[in-house]
Structure 1
Amino acid sequence: MKSFLTNIQEHFGDKGYDGDQFGGASGHNGNGLPTGLPNNFMFATGIECSYPTIDQGKTRRDLLAECDHYNRYKEDLGLVKDMGLKVLRYGLPYYNIQKGPGKHDWEFADLAMAEIKRLGITPILDLMHFGVPDWLGNFQNPELPVYFAEYCEEVAKRYPWVRYYTPVNEIYVTAKSSAKDGLWNEQLKSDKAFVTALKHTVAASIMGTQKIAKHRPDCVIVQSESAEFTHELRAEHTEAVQLQNRLRFTSLDLLYAHQPEGDVLNYLYDNGMTRKEYDWFMAGEPPGYQVMGNDYYGRNEKIMLPSGELVTSMDVLGWYNITLDYYQRYKKPVMHTETNVFEADQGPTWLWKQWVNILRMRKEGVPVLGFTWYSLIDQRDWDTGLAQKNGNVNACGLFDLDRKPRPVAEAYKQLLQEYGQITIVPHGELFEVTERPATLKVEV
């Protein structure tokens, strides 16, 4: 008896069967540089733009200035395009734009945004990155949500072509570094100050999103938040460390109207949140399409030794396992919104390790929209969390401060060439990012 393959070959030829090119064995495997189409996985970088104050408000850190982006913004944006990237996490200097209620200086913002648009780059526009204008003081100011909402609306009106936003970058880190760890801005070290900063920044994000949605009802909100965890290596865990591991969710709990655990809720009430404020947060999540962005650096994950000493664990659980906890809690589409290492020679290996985490998450069926190497160029003083102005160069960029490529730039180009045209989920052509407004939100 003849093989069925013989009959097929006689009728249809040897391989390359007509019709198979439409997604069969002869279909496209997803390699090639990103296309920017609505179903294309979003490969991104970012430009570090932090601007907290230190020295009790006397010194403003502005990484856009310290890394010379203001003078070299065209060159920097050109590097994004030359890399083959279509997406850029980009922060305008909020502290220097909103000069007062109803007063704005758009000079630099207009120049940079025009160049981004000219180059065909899709910005994820970062509207508050670790600092506020001097006239607003700091994150203890209850007026912040109202004035920040005004700013968000002005941005949305001025750049109507922008759809992707991060209203407040890393809300939890903003509140913790400013009001619990005493590093930036108000430089306080109390639970009450932390809760105050937390509720003001979450409220600012919610109110800002509402104003953006007025002008872009199809807005996509990529909430960048730090993925953190502390491993407590003690036979009997302490309540303080375990509470800290639960508090890491609090910013997203309030943002997404997800009821926190009882001890966390008691902590909020004990430290100044009123029942009326809590009910306001629990009324519902903000408008727009909500994407849960998780930032992961090896230094985000720590081990507490029996002695109480904290050491960096560097990738014990990793982005996949930590982010999976967040995904199972909120059931939002995911994006890996920041990662890097300070050692330039380790950059390529870290990049590939993060990509393995992405592939593992996709294999689980979790919709992962994108990945970000942060940042485009080297940074300064993140080895001290910006708390000291030493001018130390952190060799974590795709390019150094002379705009020369680091080894990780070539590795990222290889990654883009191999995977650049994959879709957000398998057969993602069927589930493209729609241009319709977000209206219906249900849990099943």
Structure 2
Amino acid sequence: MTFLSHIKRHFGDGNYDGDQFGGAGGHNGSGLPTSNAGNFMFATGIECSYPTIQNGTVRRDQLRECGHYDRYKEDLGLVKEMGLKVLRYGLPYYSIHKSPGKFDWEFADLAMAEIKRLGITPILDLLHFGVPDWIGNFQNPELPVHFADFCEAVAKRYPWVRYYTPVNEIYVTARISGKDGVWNEQLKTDKGFITALKHCVAASIMGNQQIAKHRNDCVIVQSESAEYIHELCATPSAETTLNNELRFLSLDLLYANPPSSTVAMYMMDNGLTRAEYDWFMAGKPPGYQIMGNDYYGRNERIKLPDGRIETSMDVLGWYEITRDYYERYHMPVMHTETNVFEADQAPVWLYKQWVSILRMRRDGVPVLGFTWYSLIDQIDWDIQLAEVKNHVNECGLFDLDRKPRPVAQAYKDILKEFGQITIVPYGEMLEMTDQPARLKVNV
């Protein structure tokens, strides 16, 4: 008799007792997400941008324009209906923070109560492309202090919330407001860009500090745009080379990672002082930090020899670009935003993003979550909200009538197949706990 014959004689032909605990008969991770703390964070978001345009005279509040204030219960119910447990959710900072020490919580309390009732885990987005009128814009050096007060007020008011994005897409905020001249201060200068960027990073750090005071196990999901410019020239221009380095700058300052000498000189030339630089380099903010990368095909661009810029749509893709960010910071990763504006192309785009995530995880990079952004269609994002044209961008899981788009079913199919995988492979033994963040470094 062979050893296998003996085993079959004593224990049977497979389906052994014990195999159900992660052995041959273990669970493959299929099924809708659970409330388990170690569950991979499948998420969506509700678009909540609120920059000003036309020299501060027009406020583009996407929560209002897309009907969320009136339909918030319906919208949150759609998150639940999708089978999602995690939601990137923005509290409208510009309308809540009325003046120093004064807050209007009326809508926030209603929405947060419903989120809690539905058992949804919010990643609270506290500053999304705009500030209150009384603060002015991102050139105001008092922004970090005022914003820190707001963050503390939020943490005290909703002590059950653990996940936060203090300042959304810092690099994009600073570039479009201070360099591209589209929003808020509408400047078109390098100094305007650096000033906005350092104020936003400082605001994020100080807001993070205040959150950690009241929630010492806070998880900070920093959402930043994953960018790249390809230049079709035998000798790339200094401008393109610099821009491909500047895409890291917000995270360099946030995570105390010394930038290149070229970028350091650029910052010093445009208003960053040595004392400010040393302050940023003191160390990472407190809590558990996750590096969120937002990737849209339009983030990746090709500069032609005649200077024209074309959207390249997925030459490198989320995998290759995010790998650059991971190798720079070695932080846990989350895919925090993606979509396409063409509803019929959205399912394939979703599949491509998910394939990239699976490959990244198999290559040993800890990818903890994924977000289709957003739940509902958006308005005028094809022109970066620069004008009020009321053009509907068909990028939501649901349209503005709250009817599902094809991508909603595609996402549900992914949830059914992968919904119970853990944040990292074998993460059952390392589930996120409520222990306070303590270690300064990881070794």
Q: TM-score, structure 2 length as denominator? A: 0.99
Q: Classify the secondary structure of the residue corresponding to 1:40.
A: coil
Identity value in percent: 75
The separation in 1 between residues aligned to 2:402 and 2:175, in whole angstroms, is: 33
Give how far 1:9 is off.
1.2
1:17 counterpart SS class: coil
Q: Helix, strand or coil for the counterpart of 2:291? A: strand
Q: Which moved more, 1:244-253 or 1:13-22?
A: 13-22
SS of 1:373's equivalent in the other structure is: strand
**Aligned partners of 1:371, 1:442: CA distance in 2, in Å?**
25
Which position in structure 1 is the counterpart of 2:243?
Answer: 244
* Paired residues for 1:38-437 under 5 Å: 38-437=37-436
How well do the aligned residues superpose, as a CA RMSD in angstroms? 0.7
How far apart, CA to CA, are the structure 2 residues paired with 1:230 and 1:70?
37
Instruction: Please give the secondary structure, in 2, of the residue aligned with 1:161.
Output: coil
- Secondary structure of the residue aligned to 2:26 is coil
**How far, CA to CA, are the matches of 2:35 and 2:293 in structure 1?**
22
Q: 1:162 corresponds to which letter in structure 2? A: V
Cα drift, residue 305 of structure 1: 1.3
CA distance in 2, matches of 1:361, 1:285: 24
Distance 1:90 1:236 in 2: 43
Structure-1 separation of matches of 2:62 and 2:232 = 37
Q: What is the deviation of 1:409?
A: 0.2
Supply the AA of the counterpart residue of 1:77. L
Alignment deviations for residues 364-417 of structure 1 (CA, whole Å, 9 cap, x no partner): 111111000000000000010010110000000000000000000000000000
CA distance in 1, matches of 2:102, 2:442: 41
Gaps of at least 5 residues in structure 1 are none
Given residue 129 of structure 2, which amino acid in structure 1 is its aligned partner? F
1:10 and 2:9 correspond: yes
Give how far 1:443 is off.
4.8
CA shift for structure 1 position 424: 1.2
Count of residue pairs brought into register by the alignment? 443
Secondary structure in 2 aligned to 1:111? helix
The residue type equivalent to 2:262 in the other structure is: D
Q: Which amino acid aligns with 1:114?
A: A
Looking at structure 2, the residues matched to 198 and 36 of structure 1 have their Cα atoms a distance apart, in angstroms, of 36
Q: Secondary structure at the match of 2:123?
A: strand
Q: Deviations over 1:54-86 (max 9, x none)?
A: 001000000000000000000000000010000
Q: Aligned partners of 2:321 and 2:279: how far apart in 1?
A: 28
User: What TM-score, normalized by structure 1, do the two folds share?
Assistant: 0.99
- 1:324 CA drift (Å): 0.6
State the alpha-carbon separation in 1 of the partners of residues 6 and 347 from structure 2: 49
Distance 2:2 2:33 in 1: 42
Q: Secondary structure at the match of 2:289?
A: strand
CA distance in 2 between partners of 1:36 and 1:186 (Å): 42
Q: How far 1:425 sits from its partner (Å)?
A: 1.4
* Aligned-partner Cα distance in 1 for 2:65–2:85: 25
Which amino acid in 2 is paired with 1:254?
Answer: L
Deviation at 1:3, TM superposition (A): 3.6
Q: Deviations over 1:337-383 (max 9, x none)?
A: 00000000001000000000100110111111100000000000001
Q: Deviations over 1:178-232 (max 9, x none)?
A: 0000010000000000000000000000000000000001000000000000011
Residues 114-151 of structure 1 deviation map (CA, whole Å, 9 limit, x = unaligned): 00000000000000000000000000000100000000
Q: Which amino acid aligns with 1:275?
A: R
CA distance in 2, matches of 1:438, 1:15: 44
Amino acid paired to 1:420 = G
**Structure 1: which 4+ aligned runs deviate by more than 4 Å?**
none
Q: Match of 1:110, SS? A: helix
Displacement of 1:7 after TM fit? 1.8
CA distance in 2, matches of 1:381, 1:375: 14
Q: Say which is worse superposed, 434-443 or 156-165, in terms of deviation.
A: 434-443
Give the distance between the partners of 1:246 and 1:222, measured in 2 at CA: 22
Distance 1:282 1:442 in 2: 14
Q: Secondary structure at the match of 2:134?
A: helix
Q: Tell me how far apart the structure 2 counterparts of residues 94 and 132 of structure 1 sit (CA, whole Å).
A: 7
CA distance in 1, matches of 2:99, 2:251: 29
* Alpha-carbon distance in structure 2 between the residues aligned to 1:365 and 1:266: 35
Q: Which amino acid aligns with 1:416?
A: L
Distance in 2 between residues matched to 1:71 and 1:228, nearest whole Å: 35
Aligned match of 2:28:
29
- Alpha-carbon distance, 1:36 to partner: 2.1
- SS of the residue corresponding to residue 25 of structure 2 reads coil
Counterpart amino acid of residue 215 in structure 1: H
Q: For 2:233 and 2:387, how far apart are their aligned partners in 1?
A: 33
Moved more, 428-437 or 59-68: 428-437
